[in-house]
Copies of this chain bind each other. A is one copy, B any other.
Amino acid sequence: MITVLPVEGMPEVHPGDEIAELITACIELFDGDVVVVTQKIVSKAEGRLVEVADDAERLALIERESVRILRRRDELVISETVHGFVCANAGVDLSNVDEGVAALLPVDSDRSARHIRDAIRARAGIAVAVVISDTFGRPWRRGLVDVALGCAGVAAIVDLRGTEDTRGRTLQATEVAVADELASAAELVMGKDREVPVAVVRGIDPTWLRESSVKAEVVRPHSEDLFR
């Protein structure tokens, strides 16, 4: 059984804030917890905020954060970001920030996750895992889901290839994107219109707790990508 707990009472986050400190003031954590933190407050704490006066500046910003544009329609740009993610508007986000300000994705979300994980360990003496989440659209399916931009202390992918199914037949392709599923599970208690930027997933399989990286394990290399 796993439980997913919203972290209530988080204050507004400002550049320079230590997110680990804000979280540990709001919830008691336990060894093996996965702390899922939305990208927005990580970007704010890291000062990844840029002034955008108008739509033209916003578009220029999106292009600067992109290495390649895949599709455009009206105001929507689907691009590959400098981090290797394919998403809308290069992750440049105007919601829940001040008017005329855009939040960019963290420079290195795996590093951001490690920083929060290490700071929680240093402050509270608790060994948690951390996932940095963001809300992405998908081709072919309507609706947005939360996925992992970065992780620390939990497997981005759990590789079940080579294990046997219940008939003793070797499974072929069952690399489960655990960090993405953790981000999605966390989103179920966050909502978009509430002030809940952090959730805790408690009770995951302890064998999933290991060093990992979304960049290294999830971002699909061009060579094996059929849609880029």
Binding site for B on A (CB under 8 A): 1-6, 71, 73, 78, 80, 85-86, 88, 94-99, 135, 137-147, 156-157, 160, 163-167, 169, 171-178, 180-182, 184-185, 187-189, 191-195, 201, 204-205, 217-220, 225-228
Contacts and interface: CB of A to CB of B under 8 A. Distances in A.
Contact of A1 (B4, B88, B173, B219): B4
A226 B78 CA distance: 9
A171 B142 contact: no
Given A187-B181, A188-B182, A95 B171 contact: yes
Contacts of A147: 141
Nearest to A80: B140
A192 B174 contact: yes
A145 B3 contact: no
Nearest to A217: B142
A32 to B, nearest CB: 14
Max chain B C-beta neighbours (<10 A), residue from A6, A78, A165:
A165
For the residues of A in contact with B, the DSSP-based class is: loop
A141 B195 contact: no
Contact of A160 (B157, B177, B192, B218): B192
Contacts of A185: 2, 4, 181, 184-185, 188
A4 B47 CA distance: 36
Given A95-B165, A184-B184, A185-B181, A218 B141 contact: yes
A168 to B, nearest CB: 10
B163 A192 contact: yes
Given A181-B188, A227-B227, A193 B173 contact: no
